[in-house]
Amino acid sequence: MEWRTVALTVLVVSLCFLAIPIRVEPDTNNEDVKLFQNYVTRYNKSYKNNPTEYEEKFKRFQRSLRHIEKMNDLRSSQESAYYGVTQYSDMTENEFLAQALVPDLPVRGEKHVNAPYHRLHHSQKSTNRVKRSAGIPSRFDWRDKGVVTAVRSQGSCGACWAFSTVEVIETMYALKNGTLKMDQAFGVRIKSFACDSFVDAEDELLTTVATHGPVAAAVNALSWQNYLGGVIQYNCDGAFESLNHAVQIVGYDQTADIPHYIIKNSWGTNFGDKGYMYIGIGSNLCGIANQVSSLDVL
């Protein structure tokens, strides 16, 4: 055997015993295909018989899967928000914004900032504010009082502001008259209403919810596309300019490991926790304290 052949043989055999780390990326495509097939069936997507659109939606679905993995990696506890496939997971972020949210909500909101019914709550705590905040329950949920209507779905309609407002009217009517009737909402006379900013004053927001009733709040819901449950703590910009959705705050829980607001959404009972969501208290997460509306009925 020639020396070159011997040398080559030794080299090959030696390599078999050497621990040479080779990074091989997992092939997720097959698993993604199965997940997407189940997804299309589960949500009865209209493009299931359109090969071109099906392929494009699959690519968007894959992007959502990778984003879901990234978001779940940020969880700090079992109570933190967790993410997965929802009815919106086959959309790009821009599509989600256009179809489920209200991109021009900040423009609409600016019209109310200088109105006489708009009130700005300051961060400096007065003695009365401390007493009021300290005097409210550490946990409060208006659903326990039987005055919150069932979760609705706005569908592709972008009238989230109308849903949240009507829901507040329904509850305030029930508190005033002792009956919860959804068909009464459009015959109710409004006594007064206010639009408040509780940025840096969320203790006042908690007091309002506990002592007055549920409120409607403008929020930034762009990061909610794949939300399944738990308390949102991160990656939810609170800037006024980022507001794009409206929800109802029906309660809060300061006894939880992650103190949070209880949010009633309008994307149906299949979204989130049977239609509800939870947002951490204290950092104006998702812009929850920027623009909050309350009202009284006759």
pLDDT of residue 21: 41
CA distance 156 to 11: 65
Q: Give, in order, the Cα–Cα distances in Å from 158 to each of 92, 101, 103, 173, 275.
A: 17, 6, 10, 25, 17
Give the β-pairing of 292-297 and 82-83.
Answer: unpaired
Please, what are the domains in the chain? Answer: 3-74 (no CATH), 82-297 (3.90.70.10)
For 58-105, how does the pLDDT look when each residue is reduced to its tens digit (9 = 90+)?
999 999 999 999 999 999 999 999 999 999 999 999 999 999 999 888
DSSP 115: S
CA distance 48 to 35: 14
For 151-198, how does the pLDDT look when each residue is reduced to its tens digit (9 = 90+)?
999 987 778 988 999 999 999 999 998 888 776 556 888 888 889 999
The residue written with tokens 């326990």 in the block is 144
pTM of the predicted protein model: 0.84
**Phi and psi (nearest 5°) for 75?**
-60, 135
Give the β-pairing of 190-197 and 118-120.
Answer: parallel
pLDDT of residue 186: 62
Which residue is catalytic, options 220, 226, 245, 284?
A: 245
245 catalytic per annotation: yes
Which residue is catalytic, options 244, 265, 284, 290?
A: 265
Please say whether the beta carbons of 170 and 182 come within 8 A: yes
Please say whether the beta carbons of 211 and 261 come within 8 A: no
